[in-house]
Amino acid sequence: MSVLIEERIDNGQVALLTINRPQSLNSLNTEVGLKLKEAMEALSYDPSVRVIVITGSGEKSFSTGGDFKERNGMTDDEWKQQHRLFEEVAKQFRQCPKPLIAAVNGFALGGGCELALSCDIVFASKNAKFGLPEVTRGIIPGIGGTQTIGRFVPKGVAMELLMTGRHMPAEEAFRRGIVNEVIESEELINKVLDSCRLIAKNSPNAVRLAKKAYRLGIDHPIEDGVEIALECYNQTVTHPDRMEGSQAFVEKRSPKYQNS
């Protein structure tokens, strides 16, 4: 049984990755890390893929983070070596050039929460719970969670989550701005795919550059951020999709954008 299932949807435009370890609440072991790293490397630069979705198998858990059963008994060096793999995967998520959507079904805890927070958009089932409980295990979030959580919620809320390790229900996560929408479990993937299709019909080049402009510019003073965004904008002007989009609008037809 594969620990990571990859499906191609809508003629390959949407790639759905499912962490498939339901018996352990889709916890992240070394094999999952290696499979995710390989898949993200391939999908990030596959011209036929316009949107990537990550979810967990079943309705109980997106991922509960690192597999402590596998880690039990590891030496410090073995722990650090495995952790470097998870660091690389989380960085792939944060720097993915394509839209990356998390479909959070159930628990998103520890490293699972960190991966969700590293995506561009987060949809959650009504039974979803988010948390960074690492302090209850004698460690802290190690693949970006201490930095990403503060980009979603105010300082006090971020510090509370980091220092208490409590679980945040989906509805609260929605109110706090972590989650885009809360959906019935059985409708979660269909809703996510609807959003994917809205994205996929647009110019892949423009979508990629819109994401790049936001990611690179948002932490700068506004005028510096605008300059970064203008550099991205000018790249759309010289791309064939700009002309195709304009012609399609004038001719009142759907545009046919390039897969690049």
Q: Which listed residue (87, 134, 181, 244) is catalytic?
A: 134
Tokens (6 digits) for 175: 């109110």
Q: Residue 259 and residue 202: Cα distance in Å, rounded?
A: 10
The one-letter amino acid code at 95 reads Q
Q: Residue 252 and residue 246: Cα distance in Å, rounded?
A: 10
Q: Which listed residue (114, 160, 223, 231) is catalytic?
A: 114
With a CB cutoff of 8 Å and minimum separation 6, the contacts of 241 are 203, 204, 205, 206, 255, 257, 258
Answer whether 106's CB lies under 8 Å from 61's CB.
yes
Closest CA to 130 of 183, 172, 94: 172
Answer yes or no: 187 catalytic.
Answer: no
* Rounded (5°) CA angle 225-229-235: 155
Answer yes or no: 134 catalytic.
Answer: yes
With a CB cutoff of 8 Å and minimum separation 6, the contacts of 201 are 254
* Rounded (5°) CA angle 255-256-259: 135
What is the signed CA dihedral for 75, 78, 79, 82, rounded to 10 degrees? -170
Active site residues per annotation:
114, 134
